[in-house]
């Protein structure tokens, strides 16, 4: 979707200012925000893609004024309400008011290290061979969905070259909305800077993105 999270190439946001020697957390509450988000994700009630969509669906004024972990917690509230684990009244009260849905599984403290080390693979087999090959010229499609997509606005309707076929993976645009994993081939596509940013861009620069097959058409 075209939401406040999709900032690539947008003006008026100020310069990027990396924080040298940045700490892992800037405040104690951020540790708890991360822990709660990971613990609730272990319920198995939603996918990574649905959680991303919940974050990008926050109102622009809320998203752009919130810190990183505040965005996480606000999106988590949405997911917990959507999947029947709590209500708005309980959020207001700050405590449980009734017994709601039980999670399929719970992440105990002694399980955390193993679960994080294992991760969650999202590569999946597909029967059809890849449609595109390395070195082939392609163009990204031009669409503006209200639903989740991993194709950024700045890279739509742009000509590029396939640099690599990365394999086949869960298609996030469907998986975010409960339509199944529907895996597709994933490609690294390289664009010249001027194709993306126009004639004022440095012609020696390139931009690479990973694009699912349905984002691309032959050129």
49 and 86 housed in the same domain: yes
The domain of 82 spans 28-118
CB 40 within 8 A of CB 106: no
Partnered with residue 212 across adjacent β-strands are 186
The CATH number linked to 57 is 1.10.472.20
Q: Is 61 within the bounds of a domain?
A: yes
212 and 149 housed in the same domain: yes
CB 120 within 8 A of CB 48: yes
113 and 142 housed in the same domain: no
Q: Is 13 within the bounds of a domain?
A: no
Q: For the chain, what is the domain count?
A: 2
Q: What is the rounded distance in angstroms from the CA atom of residue 181 to the CA atom of residue 42?
A: 18
143 and 107 housed in the same domain: no
Q: What is the rounded distance in angstroms from the CA atom of residue 195 to the CA atom of residue 5?
A: 22
Q: What is the rounded distance in angstroms from the CA atom of residue 98 to the CA atom of residue 65?
A: 33
Long-range contacts of 84-88 (CB under 8 A, 24+ apart): 85/40, 85/43, 85/45
Tens of pLDDT, residues 97-149: 988 888 988 999 899 999 889 888 999 999 999 999 999 999 999 999 999 99
Q: Is 191 within the bounds of a domain?
A: yes
Q: What is the rounded distance in angstroms from the CA atom of residue 218 to the CA atom of residue 27?
A: 49
Q: Is 199 within the bounds of a domain?
A: yes
Tens of pLDDT, residues 8-43: 878 888 888 899 999 999 999 999 999 999 999 999
Model pTM greater than 0.85? yes
Q: Is 23 within the bounds of a domain?
A: no
The CATH number linked to 205 is 2.30.30.50
Q: What is the rounded distance in angstroms from the CA atom of residue 103 to the CA atom of residue 83?
A: 10
């Amino acid at each position: 979707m075209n939401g406040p999270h999709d900032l690539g190439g947008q003006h008026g946001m100020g310069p990027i200012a990396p924080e040298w020697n940045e700490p892992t957390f800037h405040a104690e509450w951020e540790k708890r925000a991360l822990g709660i988000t990971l613990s609730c994700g272990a319920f198995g009630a939603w996918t990574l893609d649905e959680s991303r969509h919940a974050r990008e669906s926050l109102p622009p004024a809320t998203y752009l004024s919130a810190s990183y972990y505040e965005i996480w917690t606000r999106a988590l509230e949405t997911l917990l309400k959507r999947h029947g684990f709590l209500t708005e009244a309980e959020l207001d009260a700050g405590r449980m008011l009734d017994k709601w849905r039980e999670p399929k599984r719970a992440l105990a403290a002694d399980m955390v290290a193993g679960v994080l080390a294992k991760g969650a693979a999202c590569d999946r087999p597909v029967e059809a061979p890849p449609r595109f090959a390395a070195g082939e010229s392609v163009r990204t499609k031009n669409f503006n969905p209200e639903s989740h997509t991993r194709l950024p606005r700045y890279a739509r309707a742009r000509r590029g070259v396939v640099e690599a076929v990365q394999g086949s993976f869960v298609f996030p645009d469907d998986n975010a909305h409960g339509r199944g994993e529907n895996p597709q081939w994933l490609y690294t596509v390289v664009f010249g800077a001027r194709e993306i940013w126009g004639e004022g861009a440095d012609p020696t620069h390139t931009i690479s993105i990973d694009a699912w097959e349905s984002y691309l058409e032959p050129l």
